[in-house]
Amino acid sequence: MTERPRPHGLYAITDPGLIPDGQLLERVSAAIDGGARTIQYRDKRADAALRRQLAAALAGLCRARAVTLIINDDVTLAAETGADGVHLGRDDAAFAAARRRLGARALIGVSCYDSLERARAACAAGADYVAFGAFYPSAIKPDAVRAPLSLLGEARHALARRIPIVAIGGIDAGNGAGLVEAGADALAVIGAVFGHAGTDAVRAAAARLAALYAPA
């Protein structure tokens, strides 16, 4: 497991419903070409062998491209594939157990939904970043808890900028600028990147989102 920077800028999340398995590497590579600096492998399917095969291939790609790879939910998969870390939700493995398994150098992110208290606790426990959302309606998670835009500024103040804050949920190039202005260090995006067919479209979509963090 190599040491990678904490999330900043475009944080692109895969989804097997949007990306055919045989095109995973080329679509992720296109997102990286467009400016994605963090990739999260998110796959809820029951086929553990397939998920391990795909995650291992993705880990190789991300290492070659010097991009951070985070595994959604699965601490064991992160450890077995040499990913840079794991992202934990409310029902996922406990943070302390994940840290013991993955080690001090691993990046561990925690979903905080609309809860500033959960973010404070995660930061105190040693999380490497926290994620809030959904800020906008999401086709991927239509029933997700909604978070107010003001939460980003409150979190920056409460956490004293000790760890990055990631925004998620229905984000695209049109609404992302407001989240960046409000204090999001990274934008976690699924559909607005990988909802496009073909590598050129994925690359262009990623570039529009990454440009929100480009110097003025």
**Is residue 115 annotated as a catalytic residue, yes or no?**
no
Q: Is 142 helix (H, G, I), strand (E, B) or coil?
A: coil
Q: Is 216 exposed, middle or buried (0-12, 13-18, 19+ CB in 10 A)?
A: exposed
**Is residue 141 annotated as a catalytic residue, yes or no?**
yes
Q: Is the distance from CB of 83 to CB of 95 less than 8 angstroms?
A: no
The residue annotated as part of the active site, out of 4, 27, 37, 42, is 42
The residue annotated as part of the active site, out of 51, 99, 111, 115, is 111
Sequence-ordered alpha helix ranges (H) in the chain: 24-34, 48-64, 75-81, 95-102, 116-125, 150-158, 176-182, 191-194, 199-210
Q: Is 69 helix (H, G, I), strand (E, B) or coil?
A: strand
Residue type, 45: R
Helix, strand and coil in the chain, % to nearest 5: 40, 15, 40
Please state, in angstroms and rounded to a whole number, the distance separating the CA atoms of residues 93 and 195. Answer: 29
DSSP annotation of 86: E
Q: Is the distance from CB of 24 to CB of 201 less than 8 angstroms?
A: no
Q: Is the distance from CB of 102 to CB of 78 less than 8 angstroms?
A: yes
The residue annotated as part of the active site, out of 52, 141, 146, 208, is 141
The catalytic residue positions are 42, 111, 141
